[in-house]
Structure 1
Amino acid sequence: MNLNGYTDLPDGKIASVVTYLHMRRPPDLPRPEAPPGLTLERIRSDAARYRALFRRIGEPWLWFSRAAMPEEELEAILADPRVEVDVLRDGDADIGLLELDFRHDSEAELAFLGLVPETIGRGAGRFLIQEAVRRAFGKPVERLFVHTCSLDHPDALAFYRRAGFVPYKRAIEVADDPRLTGRLPPQAGAHVPVLGKL
């Protein structure tokens, strides 16, 4: 890969710039309150429900990792007591996801945080990120970290920075286009053109 210019990718590949962020102490904020009508519900060992919500949240941004993960691997993550997965609900509807991973020594990873597209901009994301920070630093952790990429929602990086995260590393991720492998439907990630045969 050329680190001082352009590198051509073959058809069937996608690439993104990944930004890693972290915080070592929580900002001084009041305890987060859910917007009216929204509740958090912990889920365990319900891979079908998790995967359905993951896809609703992530398909517009080409989230494919958990969509492609083997069932037994996903079930093991969901069942691990060191992983906290909460679903944000609006009445009977699942509209958001908050996943904290405490499997790292003295660190927590904000593995996933997202909302279904029609919910963005109503304060639910701010509630989820504040709740994530509160929960992470409610345990004996020295650092909370997260990453986002250039394929994600255009405000994702600024959102994490507003929440108090600081960028510390950048990487380039190259992967098979999940629309060509069948992991995501052809209409997913409309902002990224498909280069290859569907």
Structure 2
Amino acid sequence: MNTNPELPMGYSPVPPGKIANAVTFLEMRQPAEKITAADTPLVRLTSSDLEDYRRLFRLIGEDWMWVSRLEMDDDSLRAILSDPAVEVYALTDGERQIGLLELDFRVPGECELVFFGLAREAIGKGVGRCLMNEAIAKAWARPIDRFWLHTCHFDHPAALAFYQRSGFTPYALMVEVHDDPRLTGVLPRTAAPHIPLLDVPRHDCVTG
């Protein structure tokens, strides 16, 4: 990640076939209160669960333009899931997997909340709060000084406020530009309909 150059003031053109999103980084230096993990139905995913992981990742992330794990080859993903410093959990409703929680402790003294999300039908029912409590309890059960994450405007519109209510504080803003996965075939063209899909390069810019 290149953090040195600054974007110019005003509009910056995005190359054809690319998309840009505004990313907010948040951190928690200590939990606001002592949170004990409840009896939330979590299943630990390991390196033997590659297909289950990818299926759940796509189920939850397709609406929000999650692509990084879908672009990984088997060996790279297996290395992550088998790392003892990475904890990946699927949330179940008793019958099927409806949530994903991924914690990365590979940097000493830190935990990154890499992925956190729910299937569409589980959103807005209080399940996210239970899953976040699990995330906070599991993160601070290890000797860390910082729990952090990033979210962006491609995510659910309530995500940023949810993380702040959970005790995370924004500390940095960045802009990320990458290939539109709906044009490369990683995601279907119908994915993330709230993000415009531009097929043909435009030669004029409309400013307000």
Cα RMSD of the aligned pairs, angstroms, is 1.3
Determine the C-alpha separation between the residues in 2 that align with 1:10 and 1:83. 35
Displacement after TM superposition at 1:11 (Å) = 2.1
TM-score (norm 2): 0.90
1:55 paired with 2:58, answer yes
Displacement after TM superposition at 1:2 (Å) = 4.6
Find 1:76's aligned residue among 70, 76, 79.
79
Q: Which residue of 1 aligns with 2:181?
A: 178
1:106-125 pair list within 5 angstroms: 106-125=109-128
Q: Which residue of 2 aligns with 1:147?
A: 150
Determine the C-alpha separation between the residues in 2 that align with 1:15 and 1:110. 22
Find 1:87's aligned residue among 82, 87, 90.
90
Determine the C-alpha separation between the residues in 2 that align with 1:80 and 1:132. 18
Q: Percent identity?
A: 52
CA contact (8 A) 2:19 2:178 kept: yes
AA partner of residue 10 (structure 2): G
Determine the C-alpha separation between the residues in 2 that align with 1:134 and 1:30. 6
1:13 paired with 2:18, answer yes
CA contact (8 A) 2:42 2:91 kept: yes
Q: Which runs of 4+ in 1 moved over 2 A?
A: 29-34
Greater gyration radius: 2
Which runs of 5 or more residues in structure 2 are unaligned? Answer: 1-5, 201-208
Q: Deviations over 1:110-139 (max 9, x none)?
A: 111000011001111111111111111111
Q: How many residues align?
A: 194
TM-score (norm 1): 0.94
1:100 paired with 2:103, answer yes
